[in-house]
C-alpha cells in the first residue's frame, strides 16, 4: 500500500536579489515533483546539492511551504486535515538530518535527548525509562551509556541517538536527509546497515535523501533522481543502476568509484561541467540542457515530460525517451 504520495509539488520561495533592497524574485526550489513511498519501502531521492531534495522532505514534514500540489499520507491530503489529525500524521513521520551534532542538545544526556518526544506526549516517567533502554539497545547503543552527553560520543554513536529519538513514538515513515553524509566513510555503512535492519524489524518506510548514488545502492528499492527542482528519472534501484536512461543519471553513476580496475577502464567517465543553474532562472527547455552532452535544439526550447519507458521506470529526456514508448 502507498504510505506517502506527493503530487505535483511546487515549493517557491520569494526572495530579493541585488542591492538596495533588491528586486523581488522567486526561487523555484521544487517545481512539480510527484513521488510515492509504499509501506516497508525505501525511496531514495538523489541529486546535487541545491536541487530541492531537502525542500521536498521539509514540505512533507510541514517545515517548508507548499506553493502548489498535494501531499497525501495514508491516502489523506494533509492540507485537508484538521490541526489535530495533521499533528497525528506528522507524529507518524519522523526525520533524521545530516548533522547529529546540531540535532542534539550538548547539555542533555543521551537518555534525556531520546526521551524528548515522549515527554512532549506526557508519558509516565517509568514508561519513558523503559522505552529509552529499549530504543538504545535497538539502535546498538549500550543502555549503560544513557547518562553520557553527546560530546563523549563518536559521530556514528550520535547518529544512533538521533535515530533512537526518531523511533520513540513508532513512526511509519522516516525521512532520512543525508543521514550519513557527515560521517566517516568507515562509519557510513554501519549506519546504513542499522537503518536496513530497523526497516526489516519495524516495517518502516524511508524517504532517503542523498547527494550521490553510491550511498543508496544497497538501501534503495526505488530511486528518484532530481535536477533543479524536478525528477529527471525514477525507477527500481537495480534497473536504474544497470540501465540508466537520463544522461544526468549516467553522469552521477560514472562518478561512483568502481572497485574493479578493468571495469574502471572500460567505463566512460562523464564529467559534469559547471554548476547547477540558479533555480531563480531555470533554463527554458530541459533543466539539464546547459550541461548535457546529448543536447539538441529542441532541448533548449521545449521542456521534456517525465515519460514511462516501462511501467515502473520513467525519464525526462527528449533524446532518450520519445512519446512512442
Ligand X SMILES: Nc1ncnc2c1ncn2[C@@H]1O[C@H](COP(=O)(O)OP(=O)(O)O)[C@@H](O)[C@H]1O
Positions touching ligand X (CB under 6 A) are 13, 15, 27, 29, 47, 49-55, 279
Residue 249, binding choice from ligand X, Mg ion, none, Cβ under 5 to 8 Å by partner class: none
Query: How far is residue 216's CA from residue 232's CA, in Å, rounded to a whole number?
Result: 17
**Binding of Mg ion at residue 109 (CB under 5 A)?**
no
Angle in degrees, CA 143, 182, 56, rounded to 5: 100
Order of strands, edge to edge, in the sheet holding 173-177?
A: 93-96, 173-177, 205-210, 42-46, 222-227, 230-236, 313-315, 307-310
Residue 45 or 104 with smaller CB distance to ligand X: 45
**Binding of Mg ion at residue 199 (CB under 5 A)?**
no
Residue 53 or 165 with smaller CB distance to ligand X: 53
Q: Which of 9, 11, 54, 139 is close enough to bind Mg ion by CB under 5 A? A: 54
In the complex, minimum distance from the CB of residue 312 to ligand X, in angstroms, rounded to a whole number: 24
Q: Kindly tell me the number of DSSP H helices and DSSP E strands found in the chain.
A: 11, 12
Residue 244, binding choice from ligand X, Mg ion, none, Cβ under 5 to 8 Å by partner class: none
Residue 247, binding choice from ligand X, Mg ion, none, Cβ under 5 to 8 Å by partner class: none
**Binding of Mg ion at residue 56 (CB under 5 A)?**
no
β-pair partners for 73: 4, 76
Residue 12, classified by CB atoms within 10 Å of its CB into exposed (0-12), middle (13-18) or buried (19+), is: middle
CB atoms within 10 A of CB 10: 17
* Residue in the block written with cell 566512460: 268
Residue 48 or 116 with smaller CB distance to ligand X: 48
Residue 54 or 290 with smaller CB distance to Mg ion: 54
**Binding of Mg ion at residue 55 (CB under 5 A)?**
no
In the complex, minimum distance from the CB of residue 263 to ligand X, in angstroms, rounded to a whole number: 29
Residue 276 or 317 with smaller CB distance to ligand X: 276
Residue 91 or 211 with smaller CB distance to ligand X: 211
Residue 210, C-alpha cell as written in the block: 542523498
Residue 15, binding choice from Mg ion, ligand X, none, Cβ under 5 to 8 Å by partner class: ligand X
Strands (E), the chain: 2-17, 23-38, 42-46, 68-73, 76-77, 93-96, 173-177, 205-210, 222-227, 230-236, 307-310, 313-315
In the complex, minimum distance from the CB of residue 311 to ligand X, in angstroms, rounded to a whole number: 28
In the complex, minimum distance from the CB of residue 71 to ligand X, in angstroms, rounded to a whole number: 15
Binding site residues, Mg ion, CB under 5 A? 54
Amino acid at each position: 500500500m502507498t504510505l506517502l504520495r506527493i503530487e505535483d509539488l511546487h515549493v517557491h520561495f520569494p526572495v530579493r536579489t541585488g542591492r538596495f533592497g533588491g528586486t523581488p524574485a522567486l526561487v523555484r526550489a521544487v517545481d512539480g515533483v510527484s513521488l510515492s513511498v509504499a509501506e516497508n519501502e525505501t525511496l531514495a531521492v538523489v541529486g546535487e546539492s541545491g536541487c530541492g531534495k531537502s525542500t521536498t522532505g521539509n514540505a512533507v514534514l510541514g517545515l517548508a511551504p507548499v506553493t502548489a500540489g498535494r501531499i497525501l499520507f495514508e491516502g489523506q491530503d494533509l492540507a485537508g486535515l484538521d490541526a489535530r489529525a495533521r499533528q497525528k500524521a506528522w507524529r507518524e513521520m519522523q526525520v533524521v538530518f545530516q548533522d547529529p551534532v546540531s540535532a542534539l542538545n550538548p547539555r542533555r544526556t543521551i537518555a534525556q535527548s531520546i526521551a524528548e518526544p515522549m515527554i512532549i506526549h506526557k508519558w509516565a516517567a517509568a514508561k519513558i525509562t523503559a522505552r529509552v533502554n529499549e530504543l538504545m539497545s535497538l539502535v546498538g547503543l549500550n543502555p549503560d551509556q544513557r547518562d553520557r552527553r553527546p560530546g563523549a560520543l563518536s559521530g556514528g554513536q550520535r547518529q544512533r541517538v538521533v535515530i533512537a529519538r526518531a523511533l520513540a513514538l513508532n513512526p511509519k515513515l522516516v525521512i532520512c536527509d543525508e543521514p550519513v553524509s557527515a560521517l566517516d566513510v568507515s562509519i557510513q555503512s554501519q549506519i546504513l546497515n542499522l537503518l536496513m535492519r530497523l526497516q526489516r524489524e519495524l516495517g518502516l518506510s524511508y524517504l532517503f535523501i542523498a547527494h550521490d548514488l553510491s550511498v543508496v545502492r544497497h538501501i534503495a528499492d526505488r530511486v528518484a533522481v532530481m535536477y533543479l527542482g524536478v525528477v529527471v528519472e525514477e525507477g527500481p534501484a537495480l534497473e536504474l543502476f544497470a540501465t540508466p536512461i537520463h544522461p544526468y543519471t549516467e553522469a552521477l553513476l560514472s562518478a561512483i568509484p568502481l572497485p574493479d580496475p578493468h571495469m574502471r577502464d572500460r567505463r566512460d567517465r562523464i564529467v559534469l561541467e559547471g554548476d547547477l543553474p540558479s533555480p531563480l532562472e531555470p533554463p527554458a527547455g530541459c533543466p539539464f540542457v546547459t550541461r548535457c552532452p546529448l543536447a539538441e535544439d529542441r532541448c533548449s526550447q521545449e521542456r521534456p515530460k517525465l515519460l514511462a519507458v516501462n511501467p515502473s521506470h520513467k525519464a525526462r529526456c527528449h533524446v532518450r525517451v520519445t512519446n512512442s514508448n
